[in-house]
Amino acid sequence: MQELEKYKHYFIVVAALLLALYVTDPLWISYQELKQQNSMQQKRANKLAELLKQQQTLIEQLEVVHNNAEQILDYVFVKNSESDFKLTAQQLIEKTFNSAQCEIDRLGWQGQTPLNDKIVQWRLNVRFKGSSLCVLNVTKQLELLTPLVRFTEYNYIARRWEGKHDQSLTGDIDILMWNNKQPQPPEQEPQA
């Protein structure tokens, strides 16, 4: 027993080290993690409380967004399929050029760019001939079209410009149009 009494202080130090290593240190780490989680939960609670305070404002803003989304339908084509859109858009462009007394040489689709899951932007290239009045009229009519048609690039060429209003010009324009793909209504089963 006296041998053990001799090493009593060493045993106390070893016991204190074991207690620190296996009990106190894990408890301290756990405490720090809980403190950090509590801080994060408190921040989330503050954000939710702030959102709840602004709930009415957010509801009003959401209504404005929905109204604007409905109004945009007046400015874009609303066709379910690509072929329906192209046919309708091409007829509108041809009608516009014909009413301005321009002769279309070539009409070519350049491609599409999806803007989101419903709206697709289309690019159309039109090469045409006509007088300077035709160019002026078709440009103005295209800008006034509904659904919207916007120019991206244009090029008007004449072999020799004499300044006459009936002089023949060749035009090459790229225009943008937008199509809003509406979801297809569910098919109804035939009734017996």
Is 139 in the same domain as 88? yes
pLDDT for the residue 183: 56
Q: Do residues 99 and 142 touch, judged by C-beta distance below 8 A?
A: no
Is 38 in the same domain as 126? no
Is 174 in the same domain as 109? yes
Residue 77 in tokens: 């084509």
- Count the Cβ atoms, other than its own, within 10 Å of residue 125: 15
Helix (H, G, I), strand (E, B) or coil at 120: strand
Burial of 10 (0-12, 13-18, 19+ CB in 10 A): exposed
- Residue 61 identity: Q
Place of tokens 């339908």: 73
- Which residue segment(s) compose the domain that 14 sits in? 2-53
pLDDT for the residue 190: 47
Closest CA to 96 of 129, 128, 143, 141: 141
* pTM of structure: 0.61
Q: Do residues 116 and 181 touch, judged by C-beta distance below 8 A?
A: no
**Ranges in the chain, pLDDT < 70:** 1, 182-192
Residue 83 in tokens: 């072929």
Is 87 in the same domain as 9? no
